[in-house]
Structure 1
Amino acid sequence: MNELLKLAKEHLRIDGEQDDTSLALFIDSAKEYLTGAGVEEQESQLYKLGILMLVTHWYENRTGVSDDLPQKLTLGLQSIILQLKSW
C-alpha cells in the first residue's frame, strides 16, 4: 500500500480494502488537481496535506450535487498551493 493511501485511510478511519480503488482515484485526481494549479509533485508534508484535504472532501461528498469546492476548503487549499508554488 502506498504512503498516501495509507495516510488517507488512517485520516478517514477506514479499515479494510473495500474503498481502496476509490481512494486511489481520489489521490491520483488530487495530484492532477495540484499539477493543474502549477504545483509539481513533491515529498513535502504540505503537499501531502493538500492531497489529503482534497481526498477527504471528495470521499466525504461522493453524492454531492455541486462540483464546486466549499469556501473553507478553497481558501485553505489556495494557501497551500501558493506556498508550494513559491518553493
Structure 2
Amino acid sequence: MDIEDLKNYLRIDHTIDDSLLEMLKETAKAYILGTLEVTEIDDKRFEYAICLLVSHWYEFRRATSESALNDIPFGIIPLIQQLRGVERE
C-alpha cells in the first residue's frame, strides 16, 4: 500500500502530513507483524488493519489521556487474530 492509497482511505487531500502518515504506516505494519511473529504477510486484511491502526493513531495524535494513546480499537483485534496462521497454512 502506498501513501496515496492510505490518504484516500483517510480522505486526506493535502501533503502536509505525508511524513507523519508514512511513519504511522510503518509503525502499524511493524506492530501487526510483531504481534503475529512473522516478517511478512500477503493478505488484504493486513492492509486494512494497517489502515485502521493509522486512522486511529492519526485521529488521536493529540490525545489528552494516556489510555487513548494505548487503546487499540476493538475491531482491529479480531482482524489481526484472523491473520494468525495465514503464512503458516
TM range (shorter): 0.7 to 0.9
Q: Distance in 2 between matches of 1:42 and 1:4?
A: 16
Moved over 3 A (4+): none
In the superposition, the TM-score normalised over structure 2's length comes to 0.80
Which structure 2 residue ranges, 5 or more long, are not aligned? Answer: none
Q: Could you tell me which residue of structure 2 aligns to residue 25 of structure 1?
A: 23
Aligned-residue RMSD, C-alpha: 1.6
Contact 1:26–1:58 at 8 Å: present in 2 too?
yes
Which structure 1 residue ranges, 5 or more long, are not aligned? Answer: none
Q: Normalized per residue, which structure has more helix? A: 1
Aligned partner of 1:68 among 56, 70, 74: 70
Opposite residue 69 of structure 1, the aligned amino acid is: D
Bigger CA radius of gyration: 2
The alpha-carbon deviation at position 43 of structure 1 amounts to 3.2
Length, aligned pairs only: 82
